[in-house]
Amino acid sequence: RPKKSFGQHFLHEKRYIERIVSAIGPRADDRVVEIGPGEGALTLPLLAAAGRLTAIELDTDLIPGLQARADGIGTLEIIHADVLKVDLSALAQRLGVPRVRLAGNLPYYISSPILFHCVDHAAAIEDMHFMLQKEVVDRMAAEPGSKVYGRLSVMLQLACRVEPLFTVPPGAFRPPPKVDSAVVRLVPLAAHERHDADPQRVHAIVKAAFAQRRKTLSNGLKTLLDSEAIASAGIDPRTRAETLAPEDFVRLAKLPI
Ligand code: SAM
């Protein structure tokens, strides 16, 4: 039976499984890496299409059943680990490709940490198709000025093209989660589209700017940049973080410390 502590909500509605698999469009010999395969609702059709698949699963109890179900369908490698501790760049290298294709109906209790982890390894990822809480997908795709625009929007949009695909109702899962879900496609930006600021500095500035949404930028960034510096980047220090475009944060991160 599904375990709450592992965020286990297994997909059972065929219609949605098919929509996700067709959104991914796995081709033979794609290096697909699935996060949290569970009982294999997505694993088996993906495996059938790609011929091989690497799955990362934390729950030991699920592994023998999953391995058995893959028998005769394709080559399934199961990594028994916490995905946050898996070096995805090293995994791509071991699989012999510059970039892997990531997929997963993610465990919602750690969806943001997983997203940040993937962003850290964006250069080793071709694309990602994830099921998440709809509310999280809304935040990822939000534009400046929106109520839900924040740290997740900026960090994701600086690394990827964010493309919400469709909503999935609680009834598609067993047991049903309390919230609506949505599937999102993330395509990491090409090297020439990526910003060239220090990622840690960007992270620190975005985090501080949104830590207290009500504060002005100069207040929020007090310990990192002074008002004159903010103004020198062409940004009004009295404005609030939620009005800034993702690129504005990059400009702030590039100011001399
Ligand atoms: N893909 C399956 C499906 O759609 O039916 C299961 C999805 S379920 C929402 C999330 C899965 O992630 C579970 O199988 C759970 O055991 C696994 N999981 C939870 N935490 C994990 C972690 N830190 N690393 C890897 N897998 C994890």
For the chain, 257 residues long, give each residue's pLDDT as a single digit of tens: 888 889 999 999 999 999 999 999 999 989 999 999 999 999 999 999 999 999 999 999 999 999 999 999 999 999 999 999 999 999 999 999 999 999 999 999 999 999 999 999 999 999 999 999 999 999 999 999 999 999 999 999 999 999 999 999 999 999 999 999 999 999 999 999 999 999 999 999 999 999 988 889 999 999 999 999 999 999 999 999 999 999 999 999 999 98
84 Cβ contact list (under 8 Å, min separation 6): 110, 113, 114, 117
- Label the pairing between strands 181-188 and 160-168: antiparallel
What does the pLDDT read at residue 61?
Answer: 97
Q: How far is the CA of 34 from the centre of ligand 1 (A)?
A: 9
Decide if 168 contacts 129 (C-beta within 8 A).
no
Q: Report CA-CA distances (Å) from 45 to 34, 143, 245, 250.
A: 12, 34, 39, 40
Reduced to 3 states, what is the DSSP secondary structure of residue 84?
helix
Mutation pick for ligand 1 pocket among 53, 59, 114 (CB with most ligand atoms within 8 Å)? 59
What does the pLDDT read at residue 212?
Answer: 83
Q: How far is the CA of 162 from the centre of ligand 1 (A)?
A: 22
* Nearest atom (ligand 1) to Cα of 59: 16
Q: How far is the CA of 5 from the centre of ligand 1 (A)?
A: 10
Q: Give the residues surrounding ligand 1 with Cβ less than 6 Å away.
A: 6-11, 35-39, 41-42, 56-59, 62, 82-84, 105, 107, 110
* Nearest atom (ligand 1) to Cα of 83: 24
Q: How far is the CA of 111 from the centre of ligand 1 (A)?
A: 11
Decide if 107 contacts 82 (C-beta within 8 A).
no
Environment class of residue 139 by beta-carbon count within 10 Å: exposed (0-12), middle (13-18) or buried (19+)? buried
Neighbours of 22 (CB within 10 A): 11
Residue 142 phi, psi dihedral angles, 5° rounding: -65, 150
**ipTM of this complex prediction, to 2 decimal places:** 0.99
Q: Report CA-CA distances (Å) from 149 to 81, 82, 97, 206.
A: 32, 29, 34, 12
Q: How far is the CA of 55 from the centre of ligand 1 (A)?
A: 10
* Nearest atom (ligand 1) to Cα of 3: 16
What is the enclosing helix (H) or strand (E) of 77?
strand 75-80
Distance CA 47, CA 27 (A): 10
β-strand partners of 132: 182
Q: How far is the CA of 8 from the centre of ligand 1 (A)?
A: 6
What does the pLDDT read at residue 214?
Answer: 84
**Protein residue with its CA nearest to atom 14 in ligand 1:** 38
What does the pLDDT read at residue 224?
Answer: 95
Neighbours of 80 (CB within 10 A): 12
Q: How far is the CA of 192 from the centre of ligand 1 (A)?
A: 34
* Nearest atom (ligand 1) to Cα of 108: 9
Structure token pair of residue 183: 């599937």
